[in-house]
Structure 1
Amino acid sequence: MSTGWILISKAVAGIDSFTERLGRLLSWFNLLLVGSVFTVVILRYWFNSGSIALQEAGMYFHALIFLGASSYCLKNGGHVRVDVLYNRMNAKQQALVNSLGTLLLLMPVCLFIGLMSWDYVAQSWRIQEVSQEAGGLSFVYLLKSLILFFVGTMVLQGLAELLRSVMILMGKEAVSHG
């Protein structure tokens, strides 16, 4: 394999490694999410009390898990796909479908989300947006920033998926997802 393909293979492996580590790190936030929701329920139904900050923390954990780990889902093939035809295809046909899906669907949608949310997130940072609820969390701007984090990680993993598909289509060594 030529030096160019080796570099591409290393780039794909590096992105995959980053995505894998990020996904595994974010999986631990599920415990925090469950703990915060459990505590909110116990406070409300057993002690007739509540905590807006704790409820919002649960929302933040959920957003972090969902938006942050979407690239992990893509990397590990957990995304929605119509498998009726795809599973019957050979590796090169699958690579063609994957590359077209990445170029025509994933990348344009991610770039659209990024462009449309840029001012929304920037405005939130400009005013250091806080919760509108009394006793709420003081960093809504961080929550909104997760939209751009989602875009960045999805574009990065989408690039890895595209390069992996190109390698397969060109008859080069396939790069594993693990």
Structure 2
Amino acid sequence: MTVLLAFSRAIDRVNEFIGRNVAWLILASVLISAGNAIMRKTFDISSNAWLEVQWYLYGTAFLLAAAYTLKRNEHVRIDFVSNMLSKRTRDWIDLICHFIFLLPFVLLITWLSIPWVTKSIRSGEISANAGGLILWPAKIMVAIGFTLLIFQTFSEIIKRFAIIIGRIPDETEHHDLPPEAEVMVATARQEAGK
């Protein structure tokens, strides 16, 4: 278990570094979008390349930050329902769902993306839009993003198992619900107990 936890920590460090640094791509995308809009409205000049750069940057940020989001336990879930369950039940649900649903999904998407990316690189695929950009850099981000997500999924499975058996504390457990939500959760737990 010690070796697996060290592997998990290494994955976490890599995805933490990437996740924190790709956030700047959103700012770049917004600035390019604003600049493009100003040029279009002021000088009636526009370019499909600038529009495509925007979605390349946004897509890259989204794909590369997905593993970081999973690491931070910030992915979408129904917190109201989840908070009514015991901590141990939530840990088991996370472990089982990561292993049965998330891992096969990310493995499948990554496996399917490899020939898709390879074909795009070999053909020198270019956007069909006038003045459009080459497409393989955007497509390769799908493969890279899902590969990072595969590794983070393994890390989460390792950590969740270690938490269940009591080897490590849960560092992602949130205790920052607003007071109204705490009251709602307590009321729901009382109602469920009746």
Q: Above 0.5 in TM-score?
A: yes
In the alignment, does 2:116 pair up with 1:120? Answer: yes
Structure having greater relative contact order (Cα 8 Å, sep ≥ 6) = 1
Do the aligned residues in 2 keep the contact of 1:13 with 1:175 (CA within 8 Å)? no
**Paired residue for 1:170?**
165
1:46 equivalenced with 2:42 (yes/no)? yes
The Cα shift of 1:135 comes to 2.1
The structure that has the greater radius of gyration is: 2
**Structure 2 residue ranges without an equivalent (≥5):** 173-194
What residue is the counterpart of 1:159 in the other structure?
154
Structure 2 SS opposite 1:72 = helix
Q: Which amino acid aligns with 2:156?
A: E
What is aligned with 1:19?
15
Q: Which whole-Å CA distance do the structure 2 matches of 1:83 and 1:134 have between them?
A: 45
Superposed displacement of residue 93, structure 1: 2.2
Q: Which residue in 2 is equivalent to 1:145?
A: 140
Task: Extract structure 1 runs of 4+ deviating beyond 3 A.
Answer: 88-91
1:83 counterpart letter in structure 2: D
Distance 1:61 1:128 in 2: 20
Partner of 1:101: 97
Q: Where in structure 1 are there 5+ consecutive unaligned residues?
A: none
Partner residue of 1:36?
32
Aligned pair count reads 172
- What's the offset of the Cα at 1:76? 1.2
The CA RMSD measured in Å over matched residues stands at 1.6
Aligned equivalent of 1:81: 77
Q: Report percent identity of matched pairs.
A: 26
TM-score, normalised with respect to structure 2: 0.82
